[in-house]
Amino acid sequence: NRKRIAKVLDFRKKIAMHIFLKRANLSNLDLSELDFSGYNLTGAILKHTNLEGAKLSRAKLTKSNLTDANLKNAYLGWADLTDALLKNANLEGAKFYDYYRNKSANLTNADLTGANFKNAVLGGADLTGAVLNGANFDGANLSYTKIDLNIIKEQIIEGKIKKLAGQNLSGW
């Protein structure tokens, strides 16, 4: 019975956290290594927040503000970053496997060194000025994405990028 009660209390706590985190101001906090998988963080303000190593799998980050946040080595598989603002964010080594729902995600000037976008759908995202050294775009969909294609030219030539609709490849 104790285990059952503990599970019920844990479940209630998770529900309360889902409600509490929607549009919450979590700026300047150290939330590193925490598990936010499946949480609804819609409209949350996470400016300058440390989310290093955090698990954000299937988290809803729609219209969230993660400007200057530290998401180094964070896991964002299946996260919803539609209209999310990640300007100047540190996403070094972050994992975006099968990242979807990212309409208009703004990753301007973000550090995406070594980030993994394998099979990610990045259509419409803005990666202007982003640092992409060693980033993996195998099987990614970059249709209508704002990105300097010269940085990932080798991956494009090798046929590793899945879709490039709306990209200007003239002169290649």
pLDDT, tens only, 28-76: 999 999 989 888 999 999 999 999 999 999 899 999 999 999 999 999 9
Q: Would you report the helix, strand and coil content of the chain in percent, each value rounded to 5? A: 15, 15, 70
Q: How far apart are CA 41 and CA 57, in angstroms?
A: 12
Quickly tell me which residue has 């896991």 as its tokens.
Answer: 75
Give the distance, in angstroms, between the CA of residue 119 and the centroid of all CA atoms in the same chain: 14
Q: What is the pLDDT of residue 41?
A: 93
Residues 101, 82 contacting (CB under 8 angstroms): yes
pTM comes to: 0.83
Tokens of 51: 């989310």
Residues 39, 15 contacting (CB under 8 angstroms): no
Q: What is the pLDDT of residue 121?
A: 82
Q: What is the pLDDT of residue 93?
A: 97
Give the distance, in angstroms, between the CA of residue 73 and the centroid of all CA atoms in the same chain: 11
Q: Give the count of alpha carbons within 13 A of 136, CB side only.
A: 15
